[in-house]
Amino acid sequence: MSSRLRFLCERSFIIMLMQLFLKPLILFTLLICLSSCSMGEEMRRIEAAKQASQLQQASTSTNLTGEQIFVRSCNTCHPSGKLGMGPRLDLVAEHFPSDPALTAFIRRGKGIMPPQPKDSINDDELNNLIGYLRNLSADLRDANTAGKVPGK
């Protein structure tokens, strides 16, 4: 075999080897690159969705004070805590000694008193409302025992 022919043979052998191994290798690295790219894309999408839902939550939570909530949602039936369609609210401390019991009652409602889910009164607002109710109730009681008309 002439040396030139041998050289050609070796060269085609190397080319064959390269085709055999290099192609899959290139394909493999490409695949890894692509999948990590799309994974990063996916993570960004998830992050964006999370931020959007947080923003939405923040925009629906109005964080009103206890008094504002009372005026908005309770005053029609318990005008200033006095008798209306609902009863006077001077016995709240006796009927609901613990805050969790009062919270559960307000969330659930009773009879014609409507339930108050979280999207109408959020947890912070309900806490504010409980504080306001406790004060209002105590004021009404004080006014009762002093024989005065309850009010400011």
Closest CA relative to residue 105, chosen from 17, 114, 94, 118:
114
- By CB under 6 A, the residues from 70 to 129 that bind ligand HEC are 73-74, 76-78, 85-87, 89, 91-92, 95, 106, 110-114, 116, 129
Closest to ligand HEC by CB, 73 vs 122, is 73
Size of the residue set binding ligand HEC (CB under 6 A): 21
Closest to ligand HEC by CB, 24 vs 115, is 115
Closest to ligand HEC by CB, 35 vs 76, is 76
Q: x/- site string to ligand HEC, residues 9 to 48, per CB under 6 A?
A: ----------------------------------------
Largest CA distance in the chain: 127
Q: Helices marked H in the chain — which ranges?
A: 3-60, 66-73, 92-95, 99-108, 123-145
Handedness of CA 86, 82, 65, 92 (dihedral sign): negative
Angle at alpha carbon of residue 107, lines to 102 and 108, rounded to 5°: 100
Question: Rounded CA gap, 35 and 42, in Å?
Answer: 10
Closest to ligand HEC by CB, 117 vs 151, is 117
Question: Rounded CA gap, 89 and 81, in Å?
Answer: 5
Considering the complex, what minimum distance in angstroms separates the CB of residue 152 from ligand HEC? Answer: 19
User: Residue numbers of the site for ligand HEC (CB under 6 A)?
Assistant: 73-74, 76-78, 85-87, 89, 91-92, 95, 106, 110-114, 116, 129, 133
